[in-house]
Amino acid sequence: MSSPTRWCRIAAAASWTADVGPPRTELLSRAERSAASFSARILAHVIGELSSHPDITSLPRPWVHGVTDLADTQTLRDPVLLRIIDPSPGPLRVHAGRTVVPMTLLEGMALLEDHDAVLVTFGQDAIAPHHEALAAALILTRESPNPALVLHPPVLRRTSSHLGATGAKEHPLSVSLRIVRAINVGQPTIETVACRDVDHQAHWRIELGAVD
């Protein structure tokens, strides 16, 4: 992975959880809806939201997809999704456990060194006993009409004793939902993700800041 850009703009963002009701899959034909996996349908929902954004004329390539469960990478072979996005040479899959969100964002930002825009998605089917299905999507870009916020590369920091990083019972992808919601309301935020794979005193810091 090459070094990520210093910061990037966000052209559009979307998310899906069970709270919003059944996934809207207007991008799919009736036959495709019946054949597609649930993971593919929720990804189709957020991709459809991006496609309908007034500033988006086409979905960018490359495509980076983050999951916590390796089994969910099978979703990316779903012919329905491949037809919608037509990735070439295919999606870059990121599987990084609890740190999947910062790792996926870093991969996407690194690709901006060679591309004008990158599609970044997150998706997971329900995992018993605590986690519900969810999906999120962002279009990262070097340029965007009337941007309100910029995304800084996630950085690894020492964790102070009072810092509340992502909890053990929270879905590792929940932070992606909070980032999408902050983008859609134009609200800067700083999110933290515990980095238990490195040591207990470290966390990833994800900053969504106002445009200077």
* pLDDT given for residue 57 in this prediction: 82
Instruction: For the beta carbon of residue 171, count every other beta carbon within 10 angstroms.
Output: 21
* pLDDT given for residue 150 in this prediction: 92
Q: Which CATH class is domain 8-210?
A: alpha beta
Under the banding of pLDDT at 50, 70 and 90, the label for residue 160 is low
Type and span of the H or E element at 97? none
Amino acid 42 reads I
Helix, strand, coil tally for the chain in percent (to 5): 30, 30, 40
Instruction: In whole angstroms, give the CA distance from residue 115 to residue 27.
Output: 25
- Block residue for tokens 């491949």: 82
Under the banding of pLDDT at 50, 70 and 90, the label for residue 79 is low
Tell me the domain boundaries of the chain: 8-210
Upstream peptide bond of 62 is cis (omega within 30 degrees of 0) = yes
Q: What pTM, to 2 d.p., does this model score?
A: 0.86
* pLDDT given for residue 165 in this prediction: 46
